Amino acid sequence: MRLTTLTLALFPIAAVAAGGGSDTPPTPSETTTECADGQVFDLATQSCMDPAESTNDDSARLDDVRELAYAGYYQAALDVLDTLENPQAPLALTYYGFNHRKAGRVDLGMAYYDAALAADPNNLLARSYMGQGYVASGDMVLAQAQLTEIRMRGGRDTWAEASLVQAITTGKAASY
């Protein structure tokens, strides 16, 4: 799982892949630069370990999920999600959806987006990722519906809107 900064720089579209709508990539940490596949960097012990053994709080774990997903390690990100104290939080559900969808389990990913939106209808990130999933499956009507929802819910000029507009315009969801 060791990635170099150069490798991350080669995939700028991935910058916002698994994140809270940020338009900057996650800063590479020891999780992707030093830890073995499937491990995360534990902040308290300053060592790599299996996610289930980590003492990191949910916030740090979600940072790891974002970083792992950005790097294309969808299953490793899902493994970290499985260790959250609150896996039903809207952002966690959104990340489950993203990682399942990107790992090829599109229907499961969409079900997680539905759950994220049931928990928080204003979850613009889930709407954007769901819309991108619709673009990838060729359903531009439903993708456009998610874009309309994003805009109606105050999401103009956000990453959520911009990334979905790009996907709709190009006909391709971002491959991150």
CA torsion through residues 62, 65, 69, 74, sign: negative
Domain ranges within the chain, ordered by starting residue: 5-170
Q: What is the pLDDT of residue 6?
A: 30
Which overall architecture, per CATH, does domain 5-170 show?
Alpha Horseshoe (1.25)
Task: Write out the two tokens for 112.
Answer: 């997680």
**Dihedral Cα 17, 22, 24, 29, nearest 10 deg:** -70
Low pLDDT (below 50) residues in the chain: 1-19
What's the CA gap between 60 and 107, in Å, rounded? 28
Q: What is the pLDDT of residue 100?
A: 98
Q: What is the pLDDT of residue 24?
A: 77
Which residue in this structure is represented by tokens 């613009």? Answer: 124
Q: What is the pLDDT of residue 52?
A: 97
Summarize pLDDT for 96-143 with one digit per residue, the tens: 999 999 999 999 999 999 999 999 999 999 999 999 999 999 999 999
Task: Write out the two tokens for 126.
Answer: 């889930």
pTM for the model: 0.85
What's the CA gap between 94 and 92, in Å, rounded? 5
Q: What is the pLDDT of residue 21?
A: 56
**Dihedral Cα 105, 91, 176, 35, nearest 10 deg:** -100
Q: What is the pLDDT of residue 30?
A: 97
